[in-house]
Amino acid sequence: MSVGRQVFRCGGLGSGHAMKALANYVNAGALVNLIEALAIGRKFGARKPGDGGRLHPHVHRPPASAGEEGHPAGADPQFTTGMALGLIAKDVSIAANFGHAIGAMTPLADRVLEIWRKGEADIGGTADQTEIARLWEEGNGIRL
């Protein structure tokens, strides 16, 4: 029995769980990369550095209105993704631990996990994942 419209076979028992966690890890890494690039641009003095949102998995977000400061990652301040920061931190942890368990080299996963754990501790696990941008705002003394 399937819950969705399509069934994707991922491999043996647990493979689907691993793929979901790995997909969310990629999303989490891309989000903090985008936020960091925006923060560097803002600290440099650029109002809206580049159009990185087109390359980002959160491309479905509505853009900030003209003349508006915008929200972390360039979204409307009232817009949320509906994914809790703590859930992303959990999936990044699962992905990193999966890599460790099979002896894979995981320096990026380890660093991304460290960032998301800090966000969860400092901001709170129930906050929307986009709130992770606060780490860069506070660390750089800027507003994205």
In a domain, 7, yes or no: no
Domain total of the chain = 1
DSSP one-letter string for 76-124: -TT---S-BHHHHHHHHHHHHHHHHHTT---HHHHHHHHHHHHHHHHH-
pLDDT tens-digit map of 21-34: 999 999 999 999 99
Q: Is residue 2 situated within a structural domain? A: no
Per the domain annotation, does 36 fall within a domain? yes
**Does 130 map to a domain?**
yes
Please report the pLDDT score of residue 119 as a whole number: 97
CATH of the domain at 114: 1.10.1040.10
- Tens digit of pLDDT for each residue in 68-122? 444 454 445 566 788 999 999 999 999 999 999 999 999 999 999 999 999 999 9
107 part of a folded domain:
yes
Is position 5 within any domain?
no
User: Looking at per-residue confidence, does 63 or 69 come out higher?
Assistant: 69
Answer whether residue 9 is part of any domain. no
Residue span of the structural domain in which 45 resides: 15-140
